[in-house]
Amino acid sequence: MGETIRIVINNEIDIVVARQKGRELSKAVHFGIVDQSRITTAISELARNIYLYASHGEIRLSIKEENRKKGLEIIAEDKGPGIDDIRKALEDGYTTSNGLGAGLPGVKRLMDTFSIESVPGEGTKITALKWTK
């Protein structure tokens, strides 16, 4: 394993492509149908945020292996405006775009690990991982 798939996000079609690649990869790792949906939802939300706030960026999907467990890691990275207040961005309902503010808190709930690195004016890198049961 150890393969990484990279999907460049430049437009709305790329969001769908990222989601499809996530579905394929999570099937290959034998996630159940519910976890497959959690993972693809997380990928869509992160890709949509890249498209909305940074215009361009990428999603990297990697298969991980630890203690006979397999996992799928999502990295969403962009060189957009960054997030001023990460704590706020993780609150349910916080949005700067008239969205629902449900994306990032949702991704955090759907995945097993979640972290944000973001520097205003430089960009954002979000890493989230889910392990098989």
Ligand X SMILES: Nc1ncnc2c1ncn2[C@@H]1O[C@H](COP(=O)(O)OP(=O)(O)OP(=O)(O)O)[C@@H](O)[C@H]1O
**HSE toward the beta carbon, residue 1, CA cutoff 13 A:** 16
Alpha carbon distance 106, 96 (integer Å): 16
Whether residue 2 contacts residue 63, with contact meaning beta carbons closer than 8 Å, is answered with yes
Window 30-49: contact mask with ligand X (x via CB under 6 A): ---------------x---x
Number of residues that bind ligand X (CB under 6 A): 23
Residue 97 tokens, joined: 């775009």
Window 92-111: contact mask with Mg ion (x via CB under 5 A): -----------x--------
- Residues 82-121, interacting with ligand X (CB under 6 A): 82-83, 89, 94-97, 99-105
Cβ proximity to ligand X: between 6 and 27 the closer is 6
Indicate the residue whose CB is closest to Mg ion: 103
Contacted entry of ligand X, Mg ion, none for residue 74, CB cut-off 5 to 8 Å set by kind:
none
Which of 25, 54, 59, 61 is in the footprint of ligand X by CB under 6 A? 54
Contacted entry of ligand X, Mg ion, none for residue 71, CB cut-off 5 to 8 Å set by kind:
none
- In sequence order, what E strands does the chain have? 4-9, 57-66, 69-78, 113-119, 123-131
Whether residue 14 contacts residue 76, with contact meaning beta carbons closer than 8 Å, is answered with no
What is the dihedral sign for C-alpha 44, 41, 88, 74? negative
**Binding status of residue 15 toward ligand X by CB under 6 A:** no
